[in-house]
Amino acid sequence: MAEITYNKTALDIISALTTINQSVVFQHDEDDDSVVISKAADANKSIAYIFSAPKEVFDFESTEEDSECGFYNFNDFYTLFNVFNEPTLEQDGVDITVKENKSKIKFRLTDQELIKKTFNRVEFEDPEVSFMMDYELIKKIKDLASGNKVNADRVKFTVDGNELKYDLYNTKHHNTFDETIEIENEEDADFSIEIDMKIWNKIPNASYKVCMKEEGLLRLTMVRDDEINVEIYTADMEE
């Protein structure tokens, strides 16, 4: 039985990302001694994320033949984990034991081959626009779009030089909200990207560096002061 080292903050972040996909497959990357999460898109492949961090954030038992660890519903494990304050994790094959003092809970891992492969990599080079969106703005957009306010079903981001305008609206009624914010943009860009609010609401509340490509791609990189890297990808709505 091997002890799993872990980072509680990393597990909290992964739990927040289950709004995108409840299933999680950890994979050890021996080339750079890291752990990554693959196969992390929603069912419609309309939003996806990449998580990578030093191996120590979840150093499960792996071999050259099997370097993956699967959770069909990560929050089932996360809920059991949070029963304790500072538990120890031990792995014995497909079983993980969560224990503290004289109490313990056993959790069985999922065969990762049973978790649908939905996403591997995104080509995202040379974005035309990049800007910062802090936690409060991410949360504000969700709050304003809610049913007891604008009841918006989409958010539209329009870039015009050094200004970014976001519009919240519903295609079935006339309620709208828009706000323009200044951004530092070196390119002379003029285009827009429209996102379904069902997709936007899956993005965890955090601060992000946002990059936009005129072809309709958007990447949000979580702003952090540690070695955990989270990138979220989505795209312009298809009419």
Whole-number pLDDT of residue 117: 57
Total domain count for the chain?
A: 2
Asked whether residue 231 is assigned to any structural domain, the reply reads yes
Residues 14 and 108 in one domain: yes
Of the pLDDT bands very low, low, confident and very high (cuts 50, 70, 90), residue 119 is: low
Other CB atoms closer than 10 Å to residue 149's CB: what's the count?
12
Q: What is the pTM of this model?
A: 0.91
Residues 159 and 77 in one domain: no
Asked whether residue 124 is assigned to any structural domain, the reply reads no
Whole-number pLDDT of residue 67: 80
Whole-number pLDDT of residue 121: 61
Whole-number pLDDT of residue 114: 64
Domain that holds residue 9: 2-114
Asked whether residue 121 is assigned to any structural domain, the reply reads no
CATH number reported for the structural domain that contains residue 11 in this entry: 3.10.150.10
Q: Is 114 exposed, middle or buried (0-12, 13-18, 19+ CB in 10 A)?
A: exposed
* pLDDT tens per residue, range 200-229: 999 999 999 999 999 999 999 999 999 999
CA distances from 1 to 70, 91, 94 (A): 18, 6, 11
